[in-house]
């Protein structure tokens, strides 16, 4: 089941660039949304939750469009340390229990 | 807290052998998840538990896979018999509560190679 779709990339950008990732999900019953980050050969870790009104955390901005079932992540002023795979995540059902992950978008920031 | 603990970190086994992966969730977390990650399929949800009870095992690929959670601090994922296509990284994750934006914490994973 392809419940969460992401462009796999890779996105290759220079330091300081702004980059945007998009994600679509198929289950309209999904209630909670997240972006996770996964470094090479490491476990996924929460980057930020995504709220209906949109939210910002430093250089990172997340947006949610429930009508279009679309989630985005914007990274401003990219750093070398932002190089990683970014995973779009939605909850499985209205109960908001299990997390379903997209396959991820790979970002490589170069100097 | 030490976080979610998985063992072993690496496992190499021969086709046909039984493999048991272990997970200790974060104390107090009432949800536990098993995921499998491959390049081709990404992170797939295999099964999850709430208060030690399996809730959804629809992601378990075949009858060769089974999972148990005998108590709140321990879970196993067993593959019997193992096949080369089972080679993947298996992650265990735990989470507090069911609804809302609570974070799921992952263990470091078990890298399984079946030869």
pLDDT at B78: 98
Work out the angle at residue B61's Cα, subtended by the Cα atoms of residues A44 and B67, and round it to the nearest 5 degrees.
70
Q: B 3-42 residues with CB below 8 A of A?
A: 31, 33, 35, 41-42
The closest of A108, A110, A105 to A37, measured between CA atoms, is A105
At B62 the pLDDT is 87
A55's CB contacts (< 8 A; 6+ apart) are A48, A49, A61, A62
Q: Cβ of B42 and A32 within 8 Å?
A: no
What band does B111 get if pLDDT is binned at 50, 70 and 90?
A: very high
The count of residues in chain B is: 115
Residue A104: cis peptide before it, omega within 30 degrees of 0: no
pLDDT of the residue at A95: 57
- Judged by average pLDDT, the poorest of A31-40, A52-61, B74-83, B90-99 is B90-99
Q: Residue B101: which pLDDT band, with cuts at 50, 70 and 90?
A: low
pLDDT of res. A28? 83
Q: Tens of pLDDT along B52-68?
A: 999 999 999 889 999 99
pLDDT tens by residue, B4-62? 999 999 999 999 999 999 999 999 999 999 999 999 999 999 999 999 999 999 999 88
Picking from A38, A94, A99 by the largest number of B CB atoms within 10 A of its own CB, the best residue to mutate is A99
What does the pLDDT read at residue A2? 67
* Maximal C-alpha separation, chain A: 44
What does pLDDT average to in each consecutive run of 10 residues of chain A (111 residues)?
A: 85 97 89 93 95 92 94 97 96 71 96 94
Set of chain B residues whose Cβ sits within 8 Å of the Cβ of A104: 42-43
Residue A55: closest CA among A36, A74, A68: A74
Tokens of B41: 């399929």
Q: Which residues of A29-53 are buried (b: 16+ CB within 10 A; e: fewer)?
A: ebbbbbbbbbeeeebbebbbbbeee
| Cα–Cα dist A35/A62, whole Å | 8
The minimal CB distance from B101 to the residues A32, A42, A87 is found for A32
Query: Mutating which of A43, A49, A52 best tests the B interface, going by the most B Cβ atoms within 10 A?
Result: A43
Q: Measuring CA to CA, which residue among B80, B57, B26, B111 is closest to residue A41?
A: B111
Is the pLDDT reported for residue B98 higher than 60? Answer: no
**A34 contact residues in B (CB cutoff 8 A):** 101, 103
CA distances from B49 to A61, A67, A106, A109, B15 (A): 32, 31, 30, 38, 28
Q: How close B9 gets to chain A, by Cα (Å)?
A: 11
Mutate to test the interface with B, among A97, A102, A104, A106 (most CBs of B within 10 A): A97
For residues B99-110, give the mean pLDDT: 85
């Amino acid at each position: 089941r392809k419940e969460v779709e992401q462009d796999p990339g890779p996105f290759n950008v220079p330091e300081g660039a702004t980059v945007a990732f998009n994600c679509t999900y198929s289950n309209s019953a999904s209630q909670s949304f997240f972006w996770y980050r996964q470094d090479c050969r490491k476990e996924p870790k929460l980057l930020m939750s995504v709220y209906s009104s949109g939210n910002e955390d430093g250089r990172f901005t997340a947006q949610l469009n429930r009508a279009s079932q679309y989630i985005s992540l914007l990274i401003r002023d990219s750093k070398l340390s932002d190089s990683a795979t970014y995973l779009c995540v939605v909850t499985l059902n209205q109960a908001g229990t299990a997390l379903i992950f997209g396959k991820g978008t790979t970002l490589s920031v170069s100097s | 807290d030490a976080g979610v603990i998985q063992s072993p970190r690496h496992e190499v086994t021969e086709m046909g052998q039984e493999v048991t992966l272990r997970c200790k969730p974060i104390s107090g977390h009432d949800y536990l998840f098993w995921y499998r990650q491959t390049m081709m399929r990404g992170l797939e949800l295999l099964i999850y538990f709430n208060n030690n009870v399996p809730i959804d095992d629809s992601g378990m690929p075949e009858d060769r896979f089974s999972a148990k959670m005998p108590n709140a601090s321990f879970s196993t994922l067993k593959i019997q018999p193992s096949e080369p296509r089972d080679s993947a990284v298996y992650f265990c994750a735990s989470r507090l509560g069911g609804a809302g934006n609570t974070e799921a914490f992952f263990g470091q994973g078990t890298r399984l190679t079946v030869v």
